[in-house]
Amino acid sequence: MRIAGSAALVTGGASGLGEATARELLRRGGRAALLDLPGSQGGRVAAELGAAARFLPGDVTSEESVQAAVLATEAAFGPLRVLVCCAGIGSARRTVEKDGTPHDLASFRRTVEVNLFGSFNAIRLAAARMVANEPNEDGERGVIALTASVAAFEGQVGQAAYSASKGAIVGMTLPIARDLARHGIRVCAIAPGLFDTPLLAGLPEDARRSLGAQIPFPSRLGRPAEFASLACEIVENAMLNGETIRLDGAIRMAPR
């Protein structure tokens, strides 16, 4: 799928991996709508990116928000051909805390709702529009890139909810790719390791360096631009389908 001239919707596009992906899509000649929460920096980012970008305030867990975003993307930029799902949240709670308190169910449910249900909500609504696209010379009508995590494979202490949500994204990537293959829509997931995103930005610099040193090579935190590059490669390489790609510098997470 050629990015140049294609319309993309990026969830979580106001910061971190999503913002970097939107910027790279535009650098390669694409057009991108950024779906993120109303209180995010999406408006500022879209203004910086110019006429080839739009900020669409909304919530990925809302059918109405995502449906409106899909239609607004098409109204602004033409047929939707690319979806990149980067919206997500984290949580850190033990199954039973040291004081004997059980993991609260509400936070577990919310993490899964945003990370998993939010991704699938965007997938189903975007794919429903992509199936009507004219196919390109390879028969492609659309490409979907999801964000998993190495926590899907090596979740650490306190990551039960987060790992469950990201493991489910890994688990649904292949069946959705198989399901949408007859429509010429490809689906892949990226499982990033330790990346320099707003999630880690609040840590002291020595803690950030310590995290980076855990990565075999390169021994540093990943750069959002490196995630964005892989997301764009997924869009442009027609043989990438149904796969979850680790982007982690060969790290394998320890229990804690």
Query: Domain limits at 113?
Result: 7-247
Residue 11 falls within a domain, yes or no? yes
Mean pLDDT of the chain: 95
Alpha-carbon distance of 248 to 191, in angstroms, equals 8
Going by pLDDT thresholds of 50, 70 and 90, the confidence category of residue 206 is confident
pLDDT score recorded for residue 69: 98
The CA-based dihedral angle spanning residues 119, 121, 125, 130, taken in that order and rounded to the nearest 10 degrees: 20
Kindly state the average pLDDT of the residues 11-16: 97
pLDDT score recorded for residue 202: 65
Partnered with residue 192 across adjacent β-strands are 247
Cα angle for residues 182, 239, 131 (degrees, 5° grid):
30
Residue 78 falls within a domain, yes or no? yes
Q: What is the domain-level CATH number for residue 60?
A: 3.40.50.720
Query: Cβ(232)–Cβ(25) under 8 Å?
Result: yes
3-state secondary structure of 114: helix
For residue range 94-140, list pLDDT tens digits in order. 999 999 999 999 999 999 999 999 999 999 999 999 999 999 999 99
For residue range 44-77, list pLDDT tens digits in order. 999 999 999 999 999 999 999 999 999 999 999 9
pLDDT score recorded for residue 254: 85
Residue 255 falls within a domain, yes or no? no
pLDDT score recorded for residue 211: 82
pLDDT score recorded for residue 71: 98
Residue 252 falls within a domain, yes or no? no
Q: Amino acid letter at 100?
A: G
Residue 140 falls within a domain, yes or no? yes
Residue 203 has pLDDT above 70, yes or no: no
Residue 161 has pLDDT above 70, yes or no: yes
Residue 113 falls within a domain, yes or no? yes
Number of folded domains in the chain?
1
Residue 1 falls within a domain, yes or no? no
* C-alpha to C-alpha distances, 186 to 93, 121, 130, 216, 242, nearest whole angstrom: 35, 17, 11, 31, 7
Q: By percentage, how much of the chain surpasses pLDDT 70?
A: 99
Task: Give me the catalytic one of 55, 77, 108, 162.
Answer: 162
Query: In residues, how long is the chain?
Result: 256
pTM strictly above 0.75: yes
Q: Return the closest-CA partner of residue 189 out of 245, 138, 232.
A: 245
Residue 254 falls within a domain, yes or no? no
Q: Is 162 a catalytic residue?
A: yes
> Which residue is it, tokens 């867990």?
61
